[in-house]
Amino acid sequence: MVLTDKKEVLKEIIENADDKLMSLMIALANEYNDGEYVYSKEELDFIEKRRDAFFKSGKKGYTVEEAHENIRRNYKNGL
Q: What is the DSSP letter of 33?
A: H
Please state, as a whole number, how many other Cβ atoms lie within 10 Å of the Cβ of residue 25: 14
Amino acid at 47: I
For 1, the domain range is 1-35
> Are both 52 and 62 inside the same structural domain?
yes
Residues listed for the chain: 79
CA 53 – CA 79 distance, rounded (Å): 27
- pLDDT at res. 37: 78
Q: List, in order, residues 6 or more apart from 13 with CB less than 8 Å away.
A: 21
Percentage of the chain modeled with pLDDT above 70: 100
pLDDT in tens, 27-50: 999 888 887 778 899 999 999 999
Count structural domains, the chain: 2
Mean pLDDT over each residue of the chain, to the nearest integer: 90
Same domain for 41 and 30, yes or no, is no
- Residue 43 shares a structural domain with residue 59: yes
Same domain, 42 and 79: yes
Q: Are residues 23 and 56 in the same domain?
A: no
